[in-house]
């Protein structure tokens, strides 16, 4: 299996993942007692739940309409984009991705095979990482969930796992 075929299957897997679908809906309503933000929301004329919501923009993900991950492996560059709640794959560089990663194929393969965790792989000296620092923590959790789904895909498909071992 080629890298291109793997990336297409990864996108299909992302679009079927119920956990990601749930995360991308955002939160609509209260997530605790009103705190200091509730008073500020009241002063600004916002709805009361804006002061306690877990997500900065209830009901819509800030990631929608953005390039989430630009992944450069050897001479191949892929961009994973989220548009209207669906993941899409494009070949080529992105202008402004949330996370830009350039890593060698052997490290990418070992990470997919769960020999490395994503955070450890991204901290490797061979890897170049750039990120958008304006995103809230909840969006970074979603982006890392996208990366982890690649590992989960190989855990569920033994034939694909064998094929990736041969890269």
Q: What is the DSSP letter of 46?
A: -
Are 66 and 82 in a shared domain?
yes
pLDDT of the residue at 149: 95
Are 83 and 7 in a shared domain?
yes
Are 51 and 132 in a shared domain?
no
Residue 78's beta-bridge partner residues? 71, 91
| Structure tokens, 117 | 């965790």
Domain region containing 70:
3-25+62-165
Are 108 and 54 in a shared domain?
no
State the Cα–Cα distance between residues 154 and 97, nearest whole angstrom.
Answer: 25
Half-sphere exposure (CA, 13 Å, Cβ side) for 165? 9
Reported pTM: 0.78
Instruction: Spell out a b/e string for 120-150, using b for 16 or more CB atoms within 10 Å of the CB, else e.
Output: ebbeeeebeeeebeebeebbeebbbebbebb
Domain count, the chain: 2
pLDDT tier, 5 (very low <50, low <70, confident <90, very high otherwise):
very high
96-109 pLDDT, tens per residue?
A: 999 999 999 999 99
Instruction: Spell out a b/e string for 72-82, using b for 16 or more CB atoms within 10 Å of the CB, else e.
Output: bbeeebbbbbb
CATH number of the CATH domain containing 160: 3.30.1050.10
Are 86 and 18 in a shared domain?
yes
Residue pair 9/160 in contact by the 8 Å Cβ criterion? yes
């Amino acid at each position: 299996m080629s890298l291109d075929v793997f990336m297409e299957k990864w996108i299909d897997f992302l679009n079927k993942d119920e956990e990601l679908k749930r995360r991308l809906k955002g939160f609509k309503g209260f997530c605790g007692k009103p705190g200091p933000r509730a008073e500020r929301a009241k002063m600004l004329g916002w709805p009361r739940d804006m002061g306690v919501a877990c997500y900065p923009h209830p009901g819509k993900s800030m990631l929608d309409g953005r390039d989430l991950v630009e992944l450069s492996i050897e001479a191949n560059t892929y961009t994973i984009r989220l548009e209207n709640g669906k993941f899409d794959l494009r070949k080529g560089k992105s202008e402004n991705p949330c996370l830009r990663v350039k890593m060698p194929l052997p490290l990418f393969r070992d990470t997919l095979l769960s020999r490395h965790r994503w955070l450890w792989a991204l901290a490797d000296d061979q890897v170049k990482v750039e990120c958008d620092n304006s995103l809230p923590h909840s969006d970074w959790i979603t982006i890392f969930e996208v990366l982890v789904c690649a590992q989960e895909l190989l855990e569920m498909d033994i034939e694909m796992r064998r094929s990736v071992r041969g890269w």
